[in-house]
Structure 1
Amino acid sequence: MVGLVAMADDAQTDLPADPSAPWLELAPHYERARAREDSLDRLVEWPAQRHLLGDITGCSVLDVGCGNGGKLAELVGDGATASVGVDLSGNFLNDPLPGLEFIRGDLSELDSLPGLAGRRFDRILFLQSFGYAKDPVRTLQAARAMLADDGFILLTRTQPIRYAVERSEQNGTSLGEEYFSTAPFSYLSGWNDQITLTKRAYTISDLLNEFGAAGLWVETALEPQLPEDARLRYPHKQAWMNKYLGILIFKLRPLPSQ
């Protein structure tokens, strides 16, 4: 469980100029945590994401906020082609596979990254990275413009109720108060207890409205849970999921009129 950092005055409620900046230092710590046998990314998130992506043979993939690029490399190994990973940290895999390239860049500037100009992709991924976009609608619009015919966006976000539960415990308030709070909040990353992350508070309706404003509709939504065998092997992870719910996964397509 991560600990929250309470914000004592109005100045602290403002988002930092670049809320994604801590990832420059945090990225390798996250990758080590994700590789653990009991990582919820390995047990829940990636299997569900991979299921929704379907057969990617011959598909081009853009992974926005790709971390070290490990997931994208797996997709290339499964048959994806002409695929690109973008991440602010630049902490990429060495010797990428043929058909895979990496670009160091800010996901908030997708529409101005030279390495992406004029390119189209069959699948565009925002795997827990979307929350760091400075202008979420602009970022999604830029991604939509890069979709190939019949392409789609796969986007995952932490279930916002998780953050509401944590804030209500920390602040001695109710779940409803914190779920509907509009104040940004800061918390220790959990992968390195010296690094604090700051995010905008959001609700499920906020996400749906951002998708619509960007000209996208939800074809599929999932709230994946631990499979039965993992529940038995890792009861501490099931206890965490029972309290904090996990993640939301959305398969997004362009609205026909857009």
Structure 2
Amino acid sequence: MKENKYDENSFFQKYSEMPRSIYGLEGAGEWPALQAILPDFHGCSMLDLGCGYGWHCKYAANHGALHVTGIDLSEKMLEIARKKNADPKITYRRTAMEDLSFPAETFDIVFSSLAFHYVRDFDALSQNIRAWLKPGGTLLFSVEHPVFTAYGSQDWYYDENGQILHFPVDNYYYEGQRDAVFLGEHVVKYHRTLTTYLETLLRLGFRLEHVIEPKPPKELMHLDGMEDEMRRPMMLLIRAKRKI
């Protein structure tokens, strides 16, 4: 299923009001942890799967990438990317990442930010990514943490006074489609276990370099609700290298 929720006007308006949409990379809570494990972009070609507003594409171009291809299914996202993060070294394309086709060993880096949990078949996508990467190339991606996606609702349990009790984790080993609520609207996402993420990459010939569950950065801890983000992981960062 290739749901394109981001081209719905009401949903996109809500997304455009998020800090990561307004402030870019500095508005993303996981950015400090992600920035710390970025590869060297100098002289590289990069593919960004689910590029959104193009913040990461522009960062790579500004840090020495020779060419960046940004892929997204949302035309509204790409319209913003072409306005805010245009660069002669960046090509933006509208398509689903599951439908992509590239010659073997095209890219030095394949990157994705918070997009793979919208993909039904992670195994098939990972096989394609391995083929598109040059030997020794880097795969770096962030996804919603399996603890966060397991139950489906992606919301806390509250008491009768509206105070947070705990975060529900249930049906963890039952992988597959979830009806999640994001920005107050129902969105289709796909849950898979930590084992599936890691073992899929290992089986396909990747060498794991970093597996990180990023904490909220100290400079954002003053924001409403941020202290509660210390109670369970929300995101997962994985960096792996295709073996030669």
Do they fold alike, i.e. is TM over 0.5? yes
Correspondence for 2:115: 129
Give the total of aligned pairs.
228
Residue number among 61, 76, 87 corresponding to 1:76 in the alignment: 61
The alignment status of 1:157 with 2:143, answered yes or no, reads yes
Say whether the 8 Å CA contact 1:64–1:87 is kept in structure 2.
Answer: yes
Cα distance, 1:142 vs structure 2: 1.0
> Relative to 1, partners in 2 of residues 1:241 and 1:68: Cα closer, same or farther, differing over 3 Å?
same
Correspondence for 2:6: 23
Cα distance, 1:126 vs structure 2: 1.7
Say whether the 8 Å CA contact 1:60–1:122 is kept in structure 2.
Answer: yes
Say whether the 8 Å CA contact 1:109–1:139 is kept in structure 2.
Answer: no
- The one-letter code matched in structure 2 to 1:87 is D
> Relative to 1, partners in 2 of residues 1:46 and 1:181: Cα closer, same or farther, differing over 3 Å?
same
Residue number among 206, 212, 216 corresponding to 2:196 in the alignment: 206
Cα distance, 1:40 vs structure 2: 9.3
Paired with 1:28 and 1:54, the residues of 2 have a C-alpha distance of: 33
Paired with 1:221 and 1:183, the residues of 2 have a C-alpha distance of: 22
1 or 2 for the larger relative contact order (CA 8 Å, sep ≥6)? 1
Paired with 2:211 and 2:110, the residues of 1 have a C-alpha distance of: 16
Correspondence for 1:218: 208
Correspondence for 1:5: none
Q: Spell out, residue by residue over 1:137-171, the C-alpha distance to the aligned partner (whole angstroms, 9 max, x if none).
A: 1111111111124211001111121234647849x
- Report the secondary structure of 1:150's partner residue: strand
Cα distance, 1:223 vs structure 2: 1.4
Paired with 1:40 and 1:246, the residues of 2 have a C-alpha distance of: 17
Correspondence for 1:250: 238
Say whether the 8 Å CA contact 1:125–1:153 is kept in structure 2.
Answer: yes
> Relative to 1, partners in 2 of residues 1:168 and 1:182: Cα closer, same or farther, differing over 3 Å?
farther
The alignment status of 1:107 with 2:88, answered yes or no, reads no
Correspondence for 1:241: 229
Unpaired segments ≥5 residues, structure 2: 159-166
Paired with 1:71 and 1:127, the residues of 2 have a C-alpha distance of: 8
Between structures 1 and 2, the one with greater strand share: 2
Paired with 1:213 and 1:169, the residues of 2 have a C-alpha distance of: 37
- Report the secondary structure of 1:221's partner residue: strand
- The one-letter code matched in structure 1 to 2:208 is V
Correspondence for 1:143: 129
Correspondence for 1:85: 70
Correspondence for 2:163: none
The alignment status of 1:180 with 2:204, answered yes or no, reads no
- The one-letter code matched in structure 2 to 1:160 is P
Correspondence for 1:58: 43
> Relative to 1, partners in 2 of residues 1:142 and 1:22: Cα closer, same or farther, differing over 3 Å?
same
- The one-letter code matched in structure 1 to 2:194 is I
Identity value in percent:
23
RMSD value, Cα: 3.0
> Relative to 1, partners in 2 of residues 1:43 and 1:134: Cα closer, same or farther, differing over 3 Å?
closer
Between structures 1 and 2, the one with greater helix share: 1
- The one-letter code matched in structure 2 to 1:56 is F
